[in-house]
Structure formats: C-alpha cells, structure tokens
C-alpha cells in the first residue's frame, strides 16, 4: 500500500513549530545555570537582581515550569544575603536569545513557593515578606498578580507594634490587660529589639515571676480566647501563644482560617 501526502498535510507540517529544547535550571554558588543538555547559559546573582555580585550569598532554584507558555522550561529562583536580617528576593527567570532574563516577583521570608495551575497555565503561589499569600503568573516579561496577596490577621483586644511595622519609636512599649480575667489588669512589658525593629516582650506570671519571650514580634497583643485560665496572646499576624498552666507556649499557626 502506498500513501500519498496531500498539499494540506504538507502545509500543516510546515506550520508546526519545532519543539523547544528542554531546559534544566540549577544553581552553583551564586550563579544560575540553564542547560539544554548541550549548551549552558549562566547568570550571576548580580545580573538577576541588578545589584552588585557580592550583595547576595545564596541562590536557589525554588520551582520549574513553563510559566510563559513558550514551550521551554522557566524557573523561580530566590536570592538571599545568607543571614536572617532580610527576606529573600524571588524572581521568575526565562531564557531569551541565549540570555537569562529575570522578572522580580516579591520579597519573601518563606520557602513555600508552589506551582499550581489556573486556566491551563502554571502559576506560582507564595507568601510574601508581609505574611500575605498571593498567586502570580509570568507573561515572559514580568510577574503578573493572578490572585491578590491576602493576610489573615488575628484580631487583638489590645496590641503594640514594633518599629519595623508601624514606624514608631522602638523604645519601651508596655500595656495593661487582664490576662487572668480576675478583674485586675497585669502589665505586659515590651521593648524594641534595635537590630530588627521588632519587640521582645516580658509576661507576668504568678508570685511575681515573669516570662521573657525570645521571639521578636512586629506586633504583640492579647486575644479574646483563653487557655488554662489565661488569655491567648498573638505575635505578628497569627502566631498564637497559649498558657499551658505554667508559661505561654507557641501553638500551631492559625494562618489558615
């Protein structure tokens, strides 16, 4: 049997673009490498961020997907100073004409970058440096907000803020609250942690004793809920401290409503 190839079939074959070579994204120190198995394309952390090369000490590939839909693998990378002073900078990266092209997404403290799908297109879910959770897409040139970043903030009856969040004096910040619901208010003493602009708070316990917290909080307040006869406390947006009968201890995050 012989098969004849008609003009329409030939036209279809000619119009079908060649499949792009698969790319694999890896990091070596502060250099990003995109490899198609034959050629390696490189970009330094400085080239990605627009800062000097010595600004960042860590570069990591957080996720890979064809975010811009051009048939070639893109990536999400994080750039970090290597310490705990500053959130990481998160970028989409793609390869165009042999050059690594970045698009800034957000700053983030979290390592929860996750690839999803919306309308048949890959998306990136991420918690930004304010604690807000958002979803982004990539159009090949810039990051596009697909779902506005939202924060779940627990409501406190009384609260104080550190300098980093409210831009107020980072000095001593004390407030009174009836923590044990006996009708007499207790004093919660907080002071500014100068290096970070957050608060370090001291809590009153029985018999004149105190509990000094080692966690720095942008916001510290008292919740209406109670555990073992004491009001629950909140650090930042949703980190809950519950009284266990002796001291306040961190409970599971209440970030999921």
Q: Is residue 81 over pLDDT 70?
A: yes
Asked if residue 114 lies in contact with residue 125, where contact means CB atoms within 8 angstroms, the answer is: yes
The per-residue pLDDT for 164 is 57
> Where residue 19 falls among pLDDT bands split at 50, 70, 90?
very low
Q: Which of 58-67, 75-84, 126-135, 247-256 has the lowest mean pLDDT?
A: 247-256
Q: What is the pLDDT of residues 95-104, one digit of tens each?
A: 999 999 999 9
Please indicate, yes or no, whether the overall pTM of this predicted structure exceeds 0.85. Answer: no
Rounded to 5 degrees, φ, ψ at 127 are -95, 120
3-class secondary structure for 178-231? CCCCCCCCEEEEEEEECCCCEEEEEEECHHHCEEECCCCECEEEEEEEEECCEE
pLDDT tens-place string over residues 201-212: 999 998 889 999
pLDDT at 129: 81
């Amino acid at each position: 049997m012989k098969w004849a190839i008609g003009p329409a079939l030939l036209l279809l074959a000619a119009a079908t673009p060649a499949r792009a070579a698969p790319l694999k994204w890896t990091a070596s120190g502060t250099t990003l490498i995109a490899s198609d198995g034959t050629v390696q394309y490189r970009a330094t952390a400085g080239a990605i961020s627009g800062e000097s090369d010595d600004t960042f000490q860590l570069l990591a590939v957080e996720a890979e997907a064809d975010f811009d839909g051009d048939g070639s693998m893109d990536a999400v990378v994080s750039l970090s100073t290597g310490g705990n002073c500053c959130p990481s900078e998160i970028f989409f990266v793609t390869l165009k004409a042999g050059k690594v092209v970045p698009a800034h997404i957000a700053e983030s403290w979290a390592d929860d970058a996750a690839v999803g799908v919306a309308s048949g297109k890959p998306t990136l879910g991420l918690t930004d440096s304010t604690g807000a959770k958002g979803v982004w897409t990539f159009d090949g040139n810039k990051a596009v907000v697909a779902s506005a970043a939202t924060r779940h903030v627990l409501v406190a009856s009384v609260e104080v803020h550190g300098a980093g969040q409210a831009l107020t004096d980072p000095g001593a910040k004390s407030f009174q609250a009836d923590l044990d619901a006996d009708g007499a208010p207790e004093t919660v003493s907080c002071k500014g942690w100068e290096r970070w602009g957050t608060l370090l708070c001291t809590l009153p316990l029985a018999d004149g004793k105190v509990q000094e917290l080692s966690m720095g909080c942008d916001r510290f307040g008292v919740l209406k809920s109670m555990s073992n006869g004491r009001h629950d406390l909140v650090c930042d947006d949703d980190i809950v401290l519950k009284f266990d009968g002796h001291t306040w201890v961190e409970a599971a995050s209440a970030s999921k409503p």
